Amino acid sequence: MGKYLNTGNAGFQSVRKGLYIDKSGLISFINETLGTKDKLTCISRPRRFGKSFAAQMLCAYYDQSCDSRFLFQDLKIAEDPSFEIYLNKFDVICLDITWFISTVSDIGDTVKYLQREVIRELQETFPEIKQTGDSLPAYLSDISETTGRKFIVIIDEWDALFREARKNDSLQREYIRLLRGLFKSSLTDKMIEAAYMTGILPIKKYGTQSALTDFREYTMLSPKRLAEYVGFTESEVKKLCKIYDMDFEEARHWYDGYSFRKIKSIYSPNSVIESIKNREFGSYWTETETYESLKIYIDMDEDGLKESLVQMLAGADCPVDTGTFQNDMTNIKSRDDTFTLLVHLGYLSYDAEKQSVHIPNEEVRREFLRAVTAGKHRKVAQLIRNSDHLLQDTLSMNENAVAAAIETAHSEGTTPLFYNNEQALRNVIRFAYISCTDEFLRIEELPSGKGFADIVYLPKKNSSMPILLIELKWNKSEDGAIRQIKNRHYPQVLEDYGGDLLLIGINYDVKSQKHTCKIEKYSVEKSVPPV
């Protein structure tokens, strides 16, 4: 077994020894592509979303130098008709680009060093094939021409050079030439049975064209058939929570939020695993990245990015055009480019049907709050700090202070275009009460009584907080909002929760451009089921 050619199955063995979710169905998909015009696959995912685990799984399955049956016989792939046909049947070249970057003294030598190292190892296996230069594509072609053997090439972190050497255009172009020689030449079909590349970014664009157009790409914008392999599905997380006696609703709150056309609920995999190992929910995925990487981009404030951040921190979606993004970290020219990059980095979730983005879950929301608080958006940071005071004033039933705080949030946190409408007021309330997300679950338009309660904040389990039931009025009165809550019996739907409610009526007067607030305490008796 070698370092790059036929590396064996040790990597996947270590994966199987840990807490493992069966994602071997990916092998069935790749088996369908072997030897076809669809044989080149590029997967882009955020950090800690299982890319390397999948690469190690594929290496173990295809590598002819080892027997990996025992690693797969209890997984889904073992039931597939193709399982026996391709199990340990190929020469596999496995390249981790981050390894080569960390090994060279000068990152500019990475591509040359990679080719020399792989060629040297190939010579040990194919001594009869003489080396005629330093080109890896040419040497692989000579091997295939002489022996008739084809290779499966697996490249992990393929885009690491674009991330680590962002401004070194000559190195990037040298690297693209290598990949083109392997995968976009007249000899590719003769020497390559399949290729599987993983990375954070999709394949770099030059102008409007991808540099490697023959690859089938599966990204955070469009994972297509591979959506279930982006992370953990809801059924997988439910199963784990049941086995390890963890609260599924808490897991959903912390780690759900990535959604695609065919699968509406995908969870951050590393974070789910770490929460189960530690028996505690918290921020795990974001601990693997410094918040500086997020702060850099949101500090750009391209095209009013601040206002969009306010809306998303308050729970709203923001429209985005992903078409201009060049798939690199240097050509960020607009708010849309920034948001598209953050989708690929996992900080935002993309809704392809709405063509919009939002903050996916509590884990990422807290990272945004850290980055905004420490960044250039001082007004947004102050609004976040004000929200802490607003919650305390609400609990203390300080109506004037609540109205003043909402006044501040309204004047600082929304765009003038939408200042005078009811939806703007709802957005302001979302943001003004952003501190509630630590101890409450927010529900909008909760069906109750004879209508819908505008916004309800339900305390999380083991919280001593009251329920906050907020009714909004525009150009009417705060007393009218309280009367509507009572007349339409909104509190009745919450009787199963028991305890105290705070009824909060908020009105915005267009003429005076002032907010007013009314707060009443209301007790709900918890219903007792009949014996």
Is residue 501 scored above 60 in pLDDT? yes
Burial class (CB in 10 A: 0-12, 13-18, 19+), 525: exposed
Decide: 73 and 87 in contact? Cβ < 8 Å. Answer: no
To the nearest 10 degrees (0 to 180), the angle between helices 362-374 and 248-255 is: 40
352 and 416 assigned to the same domain:
no
Residues 127 and 16 in one domain: yes
Higher-confidence residue of 491 and 218: namely 218
**Strand ranges, E, within 65-191:** 91-96, 151-156
3-state secondary structure 50-89: CHHHHHHHHHHHHECCCCCHHHHCCCHHHHCCCHHHHCCC
On whether both 323 and 256 belong to a single domain, the answer is: no
Q: Which pair of structure tokens corresponds to residue 84?
A: 């026996």
Domain presence at residue 531: no
Task: Check whether residue 371 and residue 436 sit in a common domain.
Answer: no
Half-sphere exposure of 209 (CA within 13 A, CB side): 4
Q: 396 and 307 in one domain?
A: no
Residues 269 and 339 in one domain: no
Tell me how far apart the alpha carbons of residues 288 and 270 are, in angstroms, rounded to a whole number.
10
What is the model's pLDDT at position 314?
Answer: 74
Among 218, 241, 258, the domain-final residue is 218
Does residue 283 or residue 9 have the better pLDDT?
9
Dist. CA 504–CA 308, nearest whole Å: 27
Digit-coded pLDDT (tens) for 272-331: 999 999 999 988 876 555 456 666 777 766 667 777 887 788 777 899 999 888 887 777
Most confident listed range (45-54, 287-296, 370-379): 45-54
Q: What is the pLDDT of residue 459?
A: 86
Of 66 and 492, which is predicted with more confidence?
66
Q: Is residue 3 part of a domain?
A: no
Q: What percent of the chain has pLDDT over 70?
A: 89
Instruction: Answer yes or no: do 133 and 188 share one domain.
Output: yes
Higher pLDDT, 331 or 419: 331
CB 341 within 8 A of CB 357: no
Least confident stretch, 110-119, 333-342, 446-455: 446-455
Residue 355, CA distances (Å) to 18, 167, 249, 255, 313 in order:
38, 30, 27, 22, 18
**pLDDT score recorded for residue 286:** 63
Residue 460: CB partners within 8 Å, gap ≥ 6? 250, 439, 440, 441
Question: What token pair was written down for 170?
Answer: 């000559």
Domain boundary among 168, 185, 218: 218
Q: Looking at the structure, do residues 154 and 27 belong to the same domain, yes or no?
A: yes
Task: Name the band, by pLDDT with cuts 50, 70 and 90, for residue 235.
Answer: very high
pLDDT one-digit tens code per residue, 97-156: 999 999 999 999 999 999 999 999 999 999 999 887 889 999 999 999 999 999 999 999
* Amino acid 221: pLDDT: 95
Q: Is residue 258 part of a domain?
A: yes
Q: Look up residue 299 and give its amino acid.
A: D
Shared domain for 246 and 206, answered yes or no, is: no
Question: Distance between CA atoms of 464 and 232, rounded to whole angstroms?
Answer: 32
Chosen domain end from 362, 379, 396: 379
Structure tokens at 446: 């909760």
CA 514/CA 509 separation, integer angstroms: 5
Q: Mean of the pLDDT values across residues 519-527? A: 76
**Residue positions counted in the chain:** 531
Share of the chain above pLDDT 90, in %: 56
Residue pair 438/469 in contact (Cβ under 8 Å)? The answer is: no
Are 249 and 212 contained in the same domain?
no
> Do 413 and 449 have their domain in common?
yes
Would strands 349-351 and 356-358 be described as parallel, antiparallel, or unpaired? Answer: antiparallel
- 234: CB partners within 8 A, 6+ apart: 252, 256, 265, 267
In a domain, 336, yes or no: yes
pLDDT score, position 463 = 77
Residues 415 and 518 grouped into a single domain: yes
For residue 43, give the CATH number of its domain: 3.40.50
Number of domains in the chain: 4
Domain that holds residue 264: 229-287
Taking residues 477-491, report their average pLDDT: 88
User: Which CA distances in Å does 477 have to 81, 336, 480, 509, 513?
Assistant: 68, 39, 5, 8, 13
Tell me, rounded to whole angstroms, the distance of Cα 408 from its chain centroid. 32
Q: Is residue 529 part of a domain?
A: no
